[in-house]
Structure 1
């Protein structure tokens, strides 16, 4: 198995296991078993679990940004594009493998002891906020609205994970609509 294939299998397995069980509960042997990659190859590619966690988060960051951009693409009306962020959350919360936001969860587990993980989570959340700021600006609304929408979205992510319900996406969307109307 070449290095690129092994790396992809390791990242796939690690992401699925971390999502289901949390980072600290998953050992390297479980990742090896889940990926089908030998332990020797795993440690060649990722000499420390921290490096694997960082790689999973970096890859997830790129995937989420691309998914959200693709989801928003069909929306023409700037105000509907803002609200469509919450429709994206609704679709995500309904996925069988939804266990909450990878960045919130991993920051909660490791953010206080792993500066790299904390920085990746902060960078991801800053990019999400930047996306909201761009959407709000395109809609001609005040920049402060993006900060409020980010709080709604992140709160919905945490609440949906805890309650195991997609309902917080719709509730947050309704609150976002009120904020948009008030901003006009």
Structure 2
């Protein structure tokens, strides 16, 4: 009889599965990746995968939720190193430029998920909306500290830069958006 699986092993296996799902879904698309590919990439048997997530939709939602925490946390860590409120807002676009230049950048995982499943999955749609609202809140917090009433344009410039960079394969949209935000914020 095999030894019982510990809570720590469950946690590690779940993280391994989420790592594999995130990599494959982001690289190739959610619908293009089958459960057998997730099994092979994670090294976990299908039975174990389905114990963690009863459906592929559940796995997608968990992956997006975990990615959201990490993505927004990395952004905040970068931006909040900057003391000046105006420069903090501009640091958002510096961080985006670095992200856009990374090998394998394929745009926004939430926009990609929305494009694939938003019309057919309420759970995925809810997760996408939660991410966008949380990102908007981050932007609003940083912009409000500048006292410039430009939260919506700054948010839209950030979102637009992500989409433009994904489609063009060029990080330049972050620089262009940063220049526009510099003008919106006014002189230092």
Q: What residue ranges of structure 1 are gaps of 5+ in the alignment?
A: none
TM-score calculated relative to the size of structure 1 = 0.95
TM-score calculated relative to the size of structure 2 = 0.93
Q: Pick the structure with greater CA Rg.
A: 2
Aligned residues between the structures: 181
Distance 1:45 1:131 in 2: 31
Q: CA deviation at 1:97?
A: 2.3
Residue 146 of structure 1 aligns with which residue?
151
The runs of 4+ residues in structure 1 deviating greater than 4 Å are: none
Q: Does 2:186 match 1:181?
A: yes
Q: What residue ranges of structure 2 are gaps of 5+ in the alignment?
A: none
Q: Does 2:17 match 1:37?
A: no
Q: CA deviation at 1:37?
A: 1.0
SS in 2 for 1:104: helix
Q: CA deviation at 1:58?
A: 0.5
Deviations 1:87-130 (A, max 9, x none): 11001101112110001110111111101111111111111111
Q: CA deviation at 1:64?
A: 1.1
Residue 80 of structure 1 aligns with which residue?
87
Q: How does 1:7-86 map to 2 (within 5 A)?
A: 7-86=14-93
Q: Does 2:167 match 1:165?
A: no
